[in-house]
A and B are shown apart, each in its own frame.
Chain A
């Protein structure tokens, strides 16, 4: 088990595990955390997992853990690793089972005071429009050819179907579409798990949430993002549903069988990997991209559902604009400077968010001066944050940031200690209206089950890898 003597303090917010710690490490590992947060990180195996990540073939610079890091499968959740293109490893464990789980932020032209009296009815309206709950199917049931279009083309297909507007594209990471996607590499079983899931949030920690902007930390950037104090906004958190889970399962199994043929062995089976430019690596990357496109279409369909609910509640004249949409379980081919040299890398982000700084060619015009919006949801009842990517983050962390608060209490412990109906009542007393299909699920997702989101985002801000822009407070939450 780790303790502080295994780590070297780089800054009060950045600690390093030297590559000498474990013989298999090719590079050091770094973790963003305060000294106090490290004590929590030591309670699980996230740092052992991070040290194992540093053993991936072709890994560059450091294996990174964000301040919300906790134990995952192979990679810690909150982990970032970049391997050298084209021969470096691609590892499905560095993306996760819920491919392109991510967050989307919509902004309205309404203030909290204007909608306060209607929150209960708004919550009910949203709950009726957005399917939620385990295995719940959506309104849009796709035929095989349509599903292939979704997988191959992503959000541009949704525009053609009338579920998105062209302006949405510039506000989605990668334009809501990865061009290397190929539906042929997504299995029949994965497609069967996805054909009726578009427009659904699922269960667990996925949600639709109405918030208001409580604080603005940077007026100029907030203005550029279209945010102002007391403004009502909507957050969506969900991913690629069963389709993405199956893609991950299929390729983990496939890579397990062939990895030894490439002369690779890894300290943890969930770190299974193959060279990026191998047949299996390329097919996985195409299937992962297809699942990512599905997730963006999922969040787009949910956006359409929310826009319908909004119109019914507030009338046609009040619309919802897309601020941004980020993925926090994905791998991308990106160019970064490594020890003064520009290199093409396969950047794995698992429970970590892309946070590109200003003047990055991938960002739409409106974000060139500010850097990319970064969306960090907290638990219901606490706060969520909007940040902006920074140049320092590009240098230090492959343009990456944390993704949320991370659990600190097991689901079983939460269900024993907390009563779901009490959570609902307590949140209502704070002005937060909950609509859910599972009251016991509320106990599992109670604020006390999660780490302190304020501390997590403060670390990334103080470390300089992202910059605080706004703090959001929930007022209505829809969960499965």
Chain B
């Protein structure tokens, strides 16, 4: 039973790490600020969430579990707020999202 929990926890942590890597690659390669915010949202919620969930399974029923749940809850509440504030500030500063008709992808239609 312990081995199963450790294996599942390891799979969750590696999946979370891979998702954080995918999110970082997305932020590096996306063309526009607002599309990059889409990629950045994966980092805080799924990426950190899965890794911390993996740590949660290993720690059992101790005080560390409560602290990990608090960290996950903090991420889920504060990450959308900071993304929203950033997007609102960018829009008020005049940064327009790049619409499909303005880029070269419209040639595919």
Q: Indicate, yes or no, whether A interacts with B.
A: no
A interface with B by C-beta (< 8 Å)? none
Which B positions have Cβ atoms within 8 angstroms of A?
none
